[in-house]
């Protein structure tokens, strides 16, 4: 999948290297991610980052790809202020898929960015789950903290997906409790009866937005990204045409254009925990962030190699794929062979 994607706002796959029983994927380098934005950003920066994120997402959606794990750690920024969507480990094709989306991954999207239909047990979903995640990311950029920071209920011993009560309550506290009038199909979702037993809340998104988004149209965009009914949620294209992006300050291709050198966020720092040794390990790892870092995925045989490259699973550790990083598919122990066979 990565090799077929070419867009300014998507992290590019530069090279695929075969070494013994491992495959290394080399991605372009980006100096920042959204997690490095730890001080209040201007309206111009917020608008530029959000616009570019939606622009990259529009490309993916037009290619019938759902990202399924949009979050600040997976959204990179180059030193020239260009947004790059990374880590397609959970991404899936929606056009004539080989199997239903739910069949492969019962849990998708990191909990704080997970759309309500997923939290309520929907087995059939679409691109709108990415749009909800964009709303969460935009809100987090505006407030410097996750807007819906709930506690995740973990899978039980039989891998059953539990009811995510706390996360739903965090959403309802801001957006209010959804009704059948605004979301007619909600009554058909598996966890609807559990949801009905929760406390009832009123919508206070407007109040939340006033001091954070600092724009009436920006607050309106957030409201439309957070539509409970997936069928009424904006598409990426509709969001890009929203009035907020037509107001001054206009979005820029360089999100840092209006910032001084001192205001540009620091580069991502890689700790020893983020940079494992080159020795293969039998665990699924997300694509590591920075030059020369390696993560490993257990190989299950050459017959499944291409599928693993396209359908590797994220470990949700917050370490996004980044430029000049290496992601590895490893088939066994021992150090990689020095001889390299380049693919493509």
Active site residue 69: yes
> Using CA atoms in the order 152, 196, 170, 132, what is the torsion angle rounded to 10 degrees?
90
Q: How far is CA 122 from CA 40, 169, 186, in A?
A: 36, 18, 9
Catalytic site residue from 69, 105, 231, 248: 69
Q: How far apart are the first and last CA of the chain?
A: 14
Active site positions, annotated: 69
């Amino acid at each position: 999948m990565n090799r077929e994607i070419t867009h300014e706002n998507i992290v590019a796959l530069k090279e695929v290297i075969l070494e013994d029983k491992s495959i290394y994927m080399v991605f372009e380098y980006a100096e920042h991610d959204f997690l490095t934005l730890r001080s209040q950003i201007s309206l111009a920066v917020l608008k530029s980052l959000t616009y570019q994120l939606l622009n990259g997402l529009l490309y993916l959606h037009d290619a019938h790809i759902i990202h399924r794990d949009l979050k600040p750690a997976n959204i990179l920024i180059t030193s020239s202020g260009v947004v790059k969507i990374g880590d397609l480990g959970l991404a899936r094709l929606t056009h004539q898929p080989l199997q239903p989306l739910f069949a492969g991954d019962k849990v998708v999207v990191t909990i704080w960015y997970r759309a309500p239909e997923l939290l309520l047990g929907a087995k059939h979903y679409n691109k709108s789950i990415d749009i909800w995640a964009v709303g969460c990311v935009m809100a987090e950029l505006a407030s410097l903290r996750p807007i819906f920071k709930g506690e995740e209920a973990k899978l039980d011993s039989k891998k059953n997906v539990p009811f995510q009560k706390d996360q739903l309550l965090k959403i309802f506290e801001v957006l209010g409790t959804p009704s059948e009038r605004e979301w007619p199909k909600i009554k058909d979702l598996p966890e609807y009866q559990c949801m009905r037993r929760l406390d009832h809340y009123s919508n206070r998104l407007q109040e939340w937005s006033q001091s954070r988004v600092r724009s009436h149209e920006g607050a309106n965009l957030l409201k439309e990204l957070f539509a409970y009914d997936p069928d009424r949620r904006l598409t990426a294209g509709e969001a890009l045409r929203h009035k907020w992006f037509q107001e001054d300050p206009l979005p820029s291709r360089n999100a840092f254009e209006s910032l001084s050198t001192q205001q540009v966020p620091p580069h991502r720092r890689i700790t020893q925990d983020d940079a494992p040794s080159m020795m293969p390990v039998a665990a699924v790892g997300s694509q590591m962030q920075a030059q020369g870092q390696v993560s490993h995925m257990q190989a299950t045989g050459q017959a499944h190699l291409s599928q693993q490259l396209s359908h590797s699973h994220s470990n949700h550790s917050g370490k996004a794929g980044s430029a000049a990083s290496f992601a590895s598919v490893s088939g066994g122990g021992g150090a990689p062979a020095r001889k390299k066979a380049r693919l493509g």
